[in-house]
Structure 1
Amino acid sequence: MAPWGDIKLFFCILFITCWCTGTLAEMPMDCCLRVKNKMVDKHIVADYRQQVSGQGCSIDAMVLMGKGGRTLCVPANEPWVKKVVNYVNHLRKVCKTNKKMKPCVGVKLE
């Protein structure tokens, strides 16, 4: 029969492991904390993703990823942002068939 000290230690470690796993699963990985309504040239945007409040992040935003690796958080409902998203979607379709085109450099294909 194991001493009580070993049993308490085992349950302590088990509890801490379960708590840490649950806590880490709920942490947002990469959220925009604020948006900047700064127009960017659509030709430098390689990818985008939608951030929705209530799904781990506190605000709604569109995250634009540039071909150089930089990101910018912008308001998702702005007309210029919708044009950039449409342009990137168009590039994805075109670049699937012809990846060697100059505008396709850096574009993330789905």
Structure 2
Amino acid sequence: MASQAAVLLALSLLSLWTSPALGGANDAEDCCLSVTQRPIPGNIVRAFRYLLIKDGCRVPAVVFTTLRGHQLCAPPDQPWVDRIIRRLQKNSAKNKRHSS
């Protein structure tokens, strides 16, 4: 239990603050100022969204939302990011089939 708390604390510290996009296509959208290169454990992620240059952001990123509501910015071109996204999409499709 203590190690899980330590991991969550470390991830909280890794959480990168976001700021409003400056002059972007969608001024209400937040953008990541930087991304973490350290892999995020997929089992703590519940959702994701893309923030791209075409959206008015200077740093392209995938923003993962953790089970505790923290938002972590990750680089969209990393294999570990793709794995987490695929798992989330697979789980989402599975949940939709079961609710129909």
* TM, length-normalised to structure 1: 0.61
Greater CA drift, 74-83 or 38-47: 38-47
Matched residues, number: 76
Structure 1 unaligned segments of length 5 or more: list them.
Answer: 1-22, 100-110
Check the 8 A contact 1:45/1:66 in 2, yes or no: yes
Check the 8 A contact 2:26/2:55 in 1, yes or no: no
Paired residues for 1:1-110 under 5 Å: 27-98=27-98
Check the 8 A contact 1:46/1:88 in 2, yes or no: yes
CA distance in 1, matches of 2:55, 2:64: 18
Structure 2 unaligned segments of length 5 or more: list them.
Answer: 1-22
Give 3-state SS (helix, strand or coil) of 2:96's partner.
helix
Check the 8 A contact 1:28/1:57 in 2, yes or no: no
Check the 8 A contact 1:26/1:56 in 2, yes or no: yes
**Which one-letter code corresponds to 1:81 in the other structure?**
V
Which one has the largest radius of gyration?
1
Residue 82 of structure 1, CA deviation: 0.3
Structural RMSD (CA):
2.0
Q: Which runs of 4+ in 1 moved over 3 A?
A: none
Check the 8 A contact 1:62/1:73 in 2, yes or no: yes
Give 3-state SS (helix, strand or coil) of 1:31's partner.
strand
Identity %: 28
CA distance in 1, matches of 2:53, 2:60: 5
